Structure 1
């Protein structure tokens, strides 16, 4: 499978009222930025999104995604998200957005069938 980038995923998990983001760097993924424009009577509306394809062979094993909560940042990033308090979480997310930018994973399509070299995840991100 053709790959053109590395990515760092921040996987969301919640245990009771405790929110946590787990950092997962992945090498060898396909990242495609997608730009769309819609023309309305009130003006033009632009939308930027990304298509992310992660080959299963680039991972240690299957991943459990949380749509609408998980984050992806282009490149291997060492920054962790501090989720010790709501304020720390908010500051960490703002700092990550300002420094590296990230997209939110909005849709996950598991393509875990066929030969092992073709199994992958397709993620739509905003």
Structure 2
């Protein structure tokens, strides 16, 4: 599978009623930025999205995604999101969002069939 970038995912989970983000650096993904324009009566509306394809062979094990909550940054970064308390999480997320150009995963499709060489996840974002 053709890859052109690395990414750092921040996977959302909820454990014992506490929100948590786990950092997952992934080398060898396909990252495609897509820009679209729509002409409306009120004017032109532009939108941008990213198609992120993660080959299964780039992961140590299968991943459970949470659309609408998971975040991704192009490239490998070392920043962690502090999930120690709700206040720490809020402060850490605010600092993270100010420091990085990130995407929020809106859909995740597991394409885990066929030979191992073609198994992958297709993630879309806005």
Bucket of the pairwise TM-score, normalised by the shorter protein: over 0.9
Match of 1:78 in 2: 78
| Count of matched residue pairs | 126
What is the CA RMSD across the aligned residues, in angstroms? 1.1
Q: How high is the TM-score relative to the length of structure 2? A: 0.94
Deviation per CA, 1:57-116, whole angstroms, max 9, x where unpaired? Answer: 000010011111111111001000012233322222222222221111111111101111
Alpha-carbon contact 2:7-2:26 (below 8 Å) kept: yes
Alpha-carbon contact 2:5-2:74 (below 8 Å) kept: yes
Q: How high is the TM-score relative to the length of structure 1? A: 0.94
Structure 1 unaligned residues grouped into runs of 5+: none
Match of 2:4 in 1: 4
Alpha-carbon contact 2:82-2:88 (below 8 Å) kept: yes
